[in-house]
Amino acid sequence: MCALTIQSNKYPKKMAVIDVGSNSVKMVCYSADRTGIYRPYNRESFRVRLDKYGDGIIHDSLTSSLIDVLLLFRNIAAHENVDRILPVATSALRSAKNQKLVLDRVYAETGFILNVLSGSSEALYSYAGAAHNLNIPSCIFFDLGGGSIELVSSRNHTIIKALSVPLGALVLTQKFTENNDFNNNTIHQLRQYVKETLPSTGSMGPLGNDTILVGVGGTLRTVAKYVQTHMGYPLNKLHNYTMSAHSINMATNDILSKNISDLAETYEVGRGRADIIKAGIVTISEILSKYSFKEVRVCSTGLREGVLAMAARYTGFDKMIVSPYHVRELIRAPSGTPSIPPLVQGIINSFKLSNLLYNEEPTILQSAAINLGLLRTFRDADDFLYSVMDVPTVLSHRQQLLASLCLTYSKKPKRTRLLIKKYYSIINKFDVQMIKKLAPILELCDLLITTDANSYVQFDDNSLSITLKRNQRELPYIMFGQTCQSIGEALGAKVTTKFIL
């Protein structure tokens, strides 16, 4: 999911991004809510493989398939009352010898003017879509597609280099397979070719110790699913998931040992990627090796979200040549994260200033407090947990899980204790203590919201004083008293509660 804050009401209520790639053609429809944030609500994807024959020509039959998909997308957009459609094309059309012929035919039969992105523009858009949803100030970023791989290096949000290299999973498969599959010899040739074709470490700029590797793309997500399944990872979530080089190497060996028909039957790979996943995972492992990274972080947002963000922010987007400056300004813009009610922020600040919250506890508490409104519809703890976590965030999986478990514990402590056991591979006993500590504070925050009461916290010599001031609504004194007592027990402090009417 992508959340984008819009600066005025002059932008369309609904927009759609069409992405014509080498392997597939996709469309995502977005709708702006009343706060001016675009959110996706419809996703469509069809495998077309414009570069199927590997001869640099998009054949008539493939152009016809592309047009069929675009006509379907046009009808869906019309049915959904989409105000503006942003059609972009990447590697396959960028390198096609008959590009003009295909573009002219597409326009004549669909009315779409495809914006064929340059390699560097594609890299910048994709990076923008990722950086808008992840905190990645210093990184090497890659977008592994079917026809090419886009690379961006950044230092403190300043882009050093952005380029495209013809190392797509489909292109490499066509170049190195024999009888439609790899063997030991062609795998060796593939590794050498990827290693030699990737830009040198020095050309990507100065890489500090804080530089991380971040990737997007369907092939990377497939690899992440594969790794999660074989590691028994308990969360069904890819965004901000970190894979170690060791886990990728294990997955690489496993995938390379299987034939295409076996891979096609696996849930994580499926028929759509079975024939290109080997080239893709070898490329990913070589990127880690080339740039000496021990892990890679997966991002679920990229090119389409970057195109949407730029179109929403800048007028004249269709004629604009995107630059590192545009991307930097976009990243600096508000992210569309929901705000915490002032009453709740006040109580969190009070606990923090009283030195009752340590290290990452304020971050976890604030993240949980943002979703307090979801407690109104709480039914099943498992469903609630995933509804809270089904949003891209800068938080790690562990931090987001902790915030969600704090919320469920505040409502259903018994059920949450059972849930916690399921996630012991991600959290530890100290995290469980944090959950039990923060949950009653969230209960207090929820009561403050529903009663519109003010609160004041003082802590001195292991004695906690919580003062509650009534505004217009009646205060549930017994409930407030019980909640404050729970906070005291969680903190190991003596609690006194005062009410000001």
Q: What is the pLDDT of residues 253-271, one digit of tens each?
A: 999 999 999 999 999 999 9
Burial class (CB in 10 A: 0-12, 13-18, 19+), 98: middle
Q: How far, in Å, CA of 305 to CA of 132, rounded?
A: 9
User: Which spans in 301-428 are helix H?
Assistant: 303-313, 324-332, 342-353, 361-370, 381-389, 397-411, 413-422
β-sheet bridge partners, residue 297: 214, 242
Q: Which CATH architecture has domain 4-117?
A: 2-Layer Sandwich (3.30)
Which residues, including other chains, have CB under 8 Å from residue 86's CB and lie 6 or more apart?
15, 16, 17, 18, 115, 307, 308, 311, 317
Cβ density class 296-308: b for 16+ within 10 Å, e for less: bbbbbbbbbbbbb
Q: Which CATH architecture has domain 134-298?
A: 2-Layer Sandwich (3.30)
Q: How far, in Å, CA of 122 to CA of 321, rounded?
A: 11
* CATH among 3.40.50, 1.10.8, 3.30.1370, 1.10.3210 for 342-500: 1.10.3210
Q: Which H or E run includes 293?
A: none
Beta strands in 419-492 (DSSP E): 454-460, 463-469
Q: What is the side-by-side order of every strand in the sheet holding 242-244? A: 158-165, 149-155, 139-144, 212-216, 295-298, 242-244
Domain ranges within the chain, ordered by starting residue: 4-117, 134-298, 342-500
Q: How far, in Å, CA of 443 to CA of 23, rounded?
A: 49
Dump pLDDT digits (tens) for 191-229. Answer: 999 999 999 999 998 888 999 999 999 999 999 999 999
Burial class (CB in 10 A: 0-12, 13-18, 19+), 101: middle
| pLDDT tens, per residue, the chain with 501 residues | 444 444 434 568 899 999 999 999 999 999 987 766 788 999 999 999 998 888 899 999 999 999 999 999 999 999 999 999 999 999 999 999 999 999 999 999 999 999 999 999 999 999 999 998 888 999 999 999 999 999 999 999 899 999 999 999 999 999 999 778 999 999 999 999 999 999 999 999 888 899 999 999 999 999 999 999 999 999 989 999 999 999 999 999 999 999 999 999 999 999 989 999 999 999 999 999 999 999 999 999 999 999 999 988 887 766 678 899 999 888 877 555 567 888 888 888 888 888 899 899 999 999 999 888 877 777 777 778 877 887 778 889 999 999 999 999 998 899 899 999 999 999 999 999 999 999 999 998 888 888 888 888 888 888 888 888 887 777 788 888 899 899 999 998 898 888 887
Fold equal for 134-298 and 342-500: no
| 149, 188 contact by CB (below 8 A) | no
For 171-195, the DSSP string reads HHHHHH-BTTB--HHHHHHHHHHHH
| 84, 317 contact by CB (below 8 A) | no
Q: How far, in Å, CA of 200 to CA of 118, rounded?
A: 21
Give the pTM.
0.86
- Residue 149's CB is within 10 A of a number of other CB atoms, namely 30
Q: How far, in Å, CA of 446 to CA of 426, rounded?
A: 27
